[in-house]
Structure 1
Amino acid sequence: MNKLPTWRYLLQMVRYKLWLYLLHGTLWGTFNLSALVAGLLARAFFDTLTGQAQLPGGTMGVIILLVVLAVCRVILMLTAGSAEIMMRFTMSNLLRRNLLRRVLDRPGAYALPYSIGDAISRFRDDAYQAEDNVDWSDEIVGQGLFAVVAFIVLLSINARMALITIVPLIVVAIIARRASTALGRYRAASSQATSEVTGAIGDILAAVQTVQASGAEGRTVAHFQRLNEQRRTTMLTDRLATQALSALTNNTASLGTGLIMLLAASSIRGGSMTVGDFALFISYLSFIADFTSGIGQFLAVYKQTGVAFERMGALLGDAPLSTLVEHTPMHLKGSLPAVPAPMRHESDRLNHVEVRGLTYLHPHSGRGVAGVDLSLSRGTLTVVTGRVGSGKTTLLQTLLGLLPMEKGEIRWNGQVVENAAAFFVPPRAAYTSQVPRLFSETLKQNILLGLPDDHAALKTAIRGAVLEHDVETLEEGLETSVGTRGVKLSGGQVQRTAAARMLVRDAELLVIDDLSSALDVETERALWQRIFEHKDATCLVVTHRRIAMQRADRIIVLKDGKVDATGTLAELLATNAEMRNLWQGDYEDSADELM
């Protein structure tokens, strides 16, 4: 996918809140304009003191005007600063919102192309870099305009010295141009090294028990130290190059200023320039010097921003790169819009689901499912079983649209399902994955996940998940915080919390991927019994557990991604060798044996 020019991204960001961008530029422009006025007042003040000019109010009048101007500049600075904060926050959060939306739009079973820490670095650091460039863009334009005005005024005072002020600007532009490629390369290396460190931190914290169990603490720390040393080196190079360019541009401007001041001093002695003219010249010279150093830094920031957009664009997947700066509401003020609860319609009622030729092969391994047929009728339990790697989880995820179906057709009550990902959601379907994910919230919030707080529905779901006794033993009941990824709960409690989350949605079809792997036999039996207290409950379940297969109306045996046999448990034990091998294996004690 072809990348967009950096200016195209920046232009779209500016257009999102053009009025805020213009307000920010106008306020800072007015602030700079006040400095131009201050220079004129300074000339009048010194010329009045030396008797080369006469003002109606005298020197006291000029002093009063300067004080008033200073107060106005303070007010302008505070106002412009507030506008800048709002503008920067808006611009970076437009990028972050679009990135997050695209991540959530990805097929649910697709992993991010980078580690969580790396992705966070792109959300945080690269979005900030783009925000910084937007802020620079209108400020550098304002500086340029006032530098031109100052240059014209200086021409009227002394043309020769005014022309000399352009020399540092030309030198700085040449230096910045030659350094831009290296700066982009250094920033890319620095950002990548930072992402690797943040990614490693996330991986280590998520796998503390694994590291401890394998005795790999020393090797893990040594690996982290190597990554951190690499980050230190690349960041030092990046910062050193950026600061070196800044020092070159600033010093070039300062040398030019010093040379001009020496020339101005000789002009005063020769009588061709007044003391007031000299004060004005020095005051306005700062505009040109600031623009000279600013343009060098802006060019460096611009190049680094191009790297930031490339890194953020990598998270978009197959979406157009313009998605990154797509205009979308953010609701930064007032209450957030209410999220409507899923509405149930007559057409949502499940009578029959028919799947024909379902196919998805993982691009890297070539494994998956191919040509799978299945049929689900209302009020039935269908179990999918098979050996490790037979395609059980892939089958569920492809049916639900969490993986993109390559071939096949799905019909709900005879109607073709065009978009499985959008269709198989509550109230039509609810899903519990093989490894349930909990958030660092309360138990209640993890179950509801945004649904209205319906006490009766919540109570029913908790009972259905055999979780009521666990809730009673928790310190704050449903308001107990479960910790990061549910770390305060046992494996069985995590699975039953996920079951309650599924049940509270009262969906027509329950899709379950090995829900009971961490449950004891009695709890599992109670769980299935309570689910099927509702005679209309329709379940599609991946499991190897005998208790579930004994209750199943139909069992689908997968082998190498294809259906090896279907039927009841008795039929399959009598006719299918694969089912007999699975049944005779000691799977009661292993949650992962058939996954």
Structure 2
Amino acid sequence: MKTYHLIWRVIRYRPWLYLADALTWILIHVFPVVPGLIIREFFDMLAGQSRLDLGIWGLIALLAATAMAHIANIAVGALVDIRHRFTMSGLLRRNALESMLASPVAGGAKSTGETVNILEEDAKQVEDVISWSFDMMGMTAFAIVSAVILIRVSPQLTLMVLIPMIFVVMLAQSASGRLEKYRRESRRATSLVTEAMGEAFGAVQAIKVANAEDRVTAHLKVLGDRRREAMLKDKLLSRILDSIFENASKVGTGIILLVAARYLRLGALTVGDFALFVYYLDNVTEFAAFFGYFNVHYKQAGVALSRLGSLVKEPKELVENKPLYLAGRLPGMRTDELDDGDRLVKLTVKGLTARHSDGEHGIEDVSFELLRGTFTAVTGKIGSGKTTMVRALLGLMPRDSGEVFWNGRPVEDPRAFFVPPRSAYAPQVPHLFSDTMRNNILLGIPEGEANLQESIKTAALEEDLADLEKGVDTPVGPRGTKLSGGQQQRTAVARMLVRHAELMVFDDVSSALDIETERQLWQALADRKDLTYLVITNRRGVIMGADKVLVMNGGRVIAQDTPDELIRASPELRAILEEADSGGV
């Protein structure tokens, strides 16, 4: 979509707010027409050429009243504009975040640093341009009204006002392409720096172990130098154009004033007319400068919108009409209640195919069934496609083909469908937040709606909590760094359990556990006969305790049956278990 199409859609989100903001600021910019006429009358009165019979004090009182009205108008305009600005940028950020959370592909290639930079800087760029459009409209209205008045004073002098305006318009148009290119380069360079810094901060230990401090610093210096060069080009060209726009109008003002002085000596202008011309001229020429300035930022807003569009599947998603909560209490978390028809009876997967971006690795034609209350293990050597299969099933990566059925009904949007209370998922490396263990488990669920203690017990965390100083209220540190790997995994399991999901999907969540803790965990889970499990694992104890095992190799399910049958019939499973027992898988 074109830049102006997207901006128009943002405007239409809250049309009455936009209209109120626009009218207020148009009035603010047009308002100086009135003081100009009062000033003309004041100077004409001093020269004995008054058109009104108000007297000096009457004109001073009128001028003071208009000034107070102007101040009040600006105060109202500021309040309306603040609300409108937050609404515009808030909509863009809200929709971008929703799309990123709902889509397996939107924003997937962006680092955290680059994403934050886009949401902060680029959303503000669009907000600025829409807000400045009011100034552009107001200045245009003032230029038209004042031009009509000035033409009646002196057509020749008014014509000269157009000279700097034409120059500015031509210059702005000629520089627009280069401006857009420099802005893209500077924003991209900034994203690379923030991305590299974020990765470095997240891998401090790995950098120190590898003795790579100097190389990482040198890499950051290279990226910083590139960013400085790109930013310099962007800022320098913008400042040069701003300076030209501003000074072109001032040069034009000087030329016009010199010509006006000659008209004044010849008696073609009154003193009041000259004062009116001087008063209006600064605002009219400021319009020329602001036109160029606005054109520059409009081009940069196009770059900002394209970067925001990279976070979503379709640019139009950025400007969809969605609820936005800027005041008052936020709505509570939405919790879906399943009726008896939605409770899992059978999950069917047919011909599931999904490939990674390289087009070579992935899964091919995967089919299987899960029945309610069963425990299904997925096993295979490293690179066999186990995690890819689960991610494609849950909609966490796009699938190329295949169908998924929940109780015989097709699942059209798996990413939106496979969420609590239908499904819960724990990845290989669980993500914990810098908060207490309690809040990491609940993640916003009211404690009264979650059986926290039972979930902690099932996840085999009770003994660990007893050893922690503050128990379940112990802060876990950034990304859970104060917990061991096994504690992090079991915290993720407890997080799943409090959500009362029908289908529990685990991706090797016991890899960091000792044998006894692992046995306790899986025994406690197996005792929950009301749940259905799909578990990625190569651990012999888990596989042999499963109701069914899927054996994967080369992205395909090459065998599926009970573990006892597969031990006899599948050389691949026997090889996996032998390698796992020796610590190789």
For the aligned pair, the TM-score class normalised by the smaller chain equals over 0.9
Quote the offset at 1:325 in angstroms.
1.6
1:14 equivalent in alignment to 2:11: yes
1:42 to 39, 43, 46: 39
Cα pair distance change 1:375/1:14, threshold 3 Å: closer
Structure 2 gaps of 5+ residues are: none
Cα pair distance change 1:57/1:210, threshold 3 Å: same
- Taking the aligned partners of 1:257 and 1:240, their CA distance within structure 2 comes to 25
- Taking the aligned partners of 2:162 and 2:421, their CA distance within structure 1 comes to 69
Quote the offset at 1:173 in angstroms.
0.7
Q: How does 1:33-182 map to 2 (within 5 A)?
A: 33-53=30-50, 55-107=52-104, 112-182=108-178
Cα deviation 1:141-200 (Å, max 9, x = unaligned): 110111011111111111111111111111111111111111111111111111111111
Residue aligned with 2:416, SS? helix
Deviates more, 1:433-442 or 1:196-205: 433-442
Cα deviation 1:411-443 (Å, max 9, x = unaligned): 434444444333333223221111111233332
Residue aligned with 1:348, SS? coil
- Taking the aligned partners of 2:410 and 2:135, their CA distance within structure 1 comes to 56
2:289 to 293, 302, 323: 293
- Taking the aligned partners of 1:474 and 1:46, their CA distance within structure 2 comes to 83
- Taking the aligned partners of 1:517 and 1:135, their CA distance within structure 2 comes to 54
1:278 to 274, 285, 296: 274
Quote the offset at 1:365 in angstroms.
4.1
- Taking the aligned partners of 1:300 and 1:416, their CA distance within structure 2 comes to 50
Residue aligned with 1:426, SS? coil
- Taking the aligned partners of 1:250 and 1:57, their CA distance within structure 2 comes to 38
Give the TM-score of the pair, scaled to structure 1.
0.93
Q: How does 1:530-541 map to 2 (within 5 A)?
A: 530-541=524-535
Q: How does 1:304-453 map to 2 (within 5 A)?
A: 304-317=300-313, 319=314, 321-453=315-447
**Contact 2:99 / 2:312 at 8 angstroms: preserved in 1?**
yes
**Contact 1:546 / 1:588 at 8 angstroms: preserved in 2?**
no
Q: Among the aligned pairs, what percent are the same residue?
A: 43
Cα pair distance change 1:419/1:270, threshold 3 Å: closer
Cα deviation 1:519-546 (Å, max 9, x = unaligned): 1111111111111222333211111112
Quote the offset at 1:504 in angstroms.
0.9
Whichever residue aligns with residue 186 of structure 1, its letter is Y
Matching residue of 2:182: 186
- Taking the aligned partners of 2:356 and 2:418, their CA distance within structure 1 comes to 21
- Taking the aligned partners of 1:466 and 1:479, their CA distance within structure 2 comes to 17
- Taking the aligned partners of 1:564 and 1:254, their CA distance within structure 2 comes to 79
Residue aligned with 2:447, SS? coil
Structure 1 gaps of 5+ residues are: none
- Taking the aligned partners of 1:69 and 1:189, their CA distance within structure 2 comes to 47
Residue aligned with 2:527, SS? coil
Quote the offset at 1:462 in angstroms.
1.1
1:576 equivalent in alignment to 2:579: no
- Taking the aligned partners of 1:351 and 1:519, their CA distance within structure 2 comes to 32
Residue aligned with 2:31, SS? helix
Over the residues paired in the alignment, what is the CA RMSD in angstroms? 2.1
Cα pair distance change 1:456/1:140, threshold 3 Å: closer
- Taking the aligned partners of 2:245 and 2:6, their CA distance within structure 1 comes to 27
Matching residue of 1:263: 259
**Contact 2:26 / 2:141 at 8 angstroms: preserved in 1?**
no
1:249 equivalent in alignment to 2:245: yes
Deviates more, 1:137-146 or 1:558-567: 558-567
**Contact 1:150 / 1:287 at 8 angstroms: preserved in 2?**
no
- Taking the aligned partners of 1:383 and 1:239, their CA distance within structure 2 comes to 57
Quote the offset at 1:361 in angstroms.
2.5
Cα pair distance change 1:524/1:248, threshold 3 Å: same
- Taking the aligned partners of 2:51 and 2:142, their CA distance within structure 1 comes to 28
Deviates more, 1:558-567 or 1:146-155: 558-567
Residue aligned with 1:346, SS? coil
1:24 equivalent in alignment to 2:18: no
Cα deviation 1:353-375 (Å, max 9, x = unaligned): 33333322324142222222323
Deviates more, 1:419-428 or 1:116-125: 419-428
- Taking the aligned partners of 2:179 and 2:450, their CA distance within structure 1 comes to 61
- Taking the aligned partners of 1:417 and 1:50, their CA distance within structure 2 comes to 85
Matching residue of 2:228: 232
Quote the offset at 1:455 in angstroms.
6.6
Cα deviation 1:211-262 (Å, max 9, x = unaligned): 2222211111111111111111111111110111111111111011011111
- Taking the aligned partners of 1:365 and 1:279, their CA distance within structure 2 comes to 73
Whichever residue aligns with residue 5 of structure 1, its letter is K
- Taking the aligned partners of 2:409 and 2:247, their CA distance within structure 1 comes to 73
Whichever residue aligns with residue 263 of structure 2, its letter is S
Cα deviation 1:2-50 (Å, max 9, x = unaligned): xx22111111111212222222222222222331111111112222223
Matching residue of 2:556: 562
Cα deviation 1:289-342 (Å, max 9, x = unaligned): 11110111111111111111222222223x3x2222222221222222223322
**Contact 2:25 / 2:134 at 8 angstroms: preserved in 1?**
no
Q: How many residue pairs end up in the alignment?
A: 585
Matching residue of 2:208: 212
Quote the offset at 1:67 in angstroms.
2.1
Whichever residue aligns with residue 283 of structure 2, its letter is F
Q: How does 1:430-579 map to 2 (within 5 A)?
A: 430-454=424-448, 457-579=451-573
Give the TM-score of the pair, scaled to structure 2.
0.95
- Taking the aligned partners of 1:168 and 1:129, their CA distance within structure 2 comes to 27
- Taking the aligned partners of 1:323 and 1:428, their CA distance within structure 2 comes to 26
- Taking the aligned partners of 1:193 and 1:48, their CA distance within structure 2 comes to 61
- Taking the aligned partners of 2:581 and 2:64, their CA distance within structure 1 comes to 86
Quote the offset at 1:264 in angstroms.
1.6
Residue aligned with 1:454, SS? helix
**Contact 2:30 / 2:141 at 8 angstroms: preserved in 1?**
no
Quote the offset at 1:344 in angstroms.
2.4
**Contact 2:380 / 2:576 at 8 angstroms: preserved in 1?**
yes
Quote the offset at 1:399 in angstroms.
2.3
Residue aligned with 1:323, SS? helix
- Taking the aligned partners of 1:94 and 1:576, their CA distance within structure 2 comes to 55
Quote the offset at 1:588 in angstroms.
6.7
Residue aligned with 2:512, SS? coil
Residue aligned with 2:311, SS? helix
- Taking the aligned partners of 2:38 and 2:409, their CA distance within structure 1 comes to 80
- Taking the aligned partners of 1:57 and 1:354, their CA distance within structure 2 comes to 89
Cα pair distance change 1:159/1:408, threshold 3 Å: closer
- Taking the aligned partners of 2:277 and 2:142, their CA distance within structure 1 comes to 14
- Taking the aligned partners of 1:588 and 1:518, their CA distance within structure 2 comes to 16
Residue aligned with 1:437, SS? coil
Cα deviation 1:498-520 (Å, max 9, x = unaligned): 10011112222211110111111
Cα deviation 1:533-579 (Å, max 9, x = unaligned): 22333211111112212322222221111223333444333332222
Cα pair distance change 1:481/1:174, threshold 3 Å: same
Residue aligned with 1:166, SS? helix
- Taking the aligned partners of 1:475 and 1:29, their CA distance within structure 2 comes to 62
